[in-house]
Structure 1
């Protein structure tokens, strides 16, 4: 059996909230503040991927460490940039 692509948006907001341990209202806040960008169905319903759930867990870890929303956004941006640079190096482009 093939593994599912971790970027595939498969979870509705209620399931994402349950999997991440984050209230639905917080998921909406995190989206509004730019901490995550769930996919949307044709009808506009939020859909979360396994990668989104992992990102939500990272956000909650940083909040528990006392980092504010602006700081979390900066940390996530830097982590994303770092991952992109690592991918470039691995591909021999850097």
Structure 2
């Protein structure tokens, strides 16, 4: 086996690799291609394009789309669902940053300095 530094990127573990066609993504989510296009129109997800111009989605994008679908299935309009998902994502990121800043401000934990 070649050294890890010379191996191609392992796309199986890459959440951002656009591995799924629109049809496959819609099938996995139990929705329609039109729903995925609507999410793109509302700028929730922006699929990459294949050389032939076809939309390709990553696992990360499918998780975002699945959350939007949950909200739509509960009666939330698509545009509002997209905004909610964006706000949830921003809140999660802000909480991660706050946790990191708190840990940094608290200094090293006594058990880690031994």
Gap regions ≥5 residues in structure 1: none
Q: State TM-score, norm by structure 2.
A: 0.69
Checking the alignment, whether the CA contact within 8 Å between 1:20 and 1:57 is kept in structure 2 is yes
Provide TM-score, normalisation by structure 1. Answer: 0.81
2:85 equivalent to 1:76: yes
State the aligned residue count.
93
Which runs of 5 or more residues in structure 2 are unaligned?
A: 1-9, 106-114
- Whole-angstrom distance in 1 between the partners of 2:16 and 2:98: 22
User: Segments of 4+ in structure 1 off by > 6 A?
Assistant: none
Work out the CA distance in 2 between the residues paired with 1:52 and 1:20: 11
Q: Secondary structure at the match of 2:27?
A: helix
Change (3 A) 1:87 1:10: same
Larger radius of gyration: 2
Distance 1:41 1:91 in 2: 37
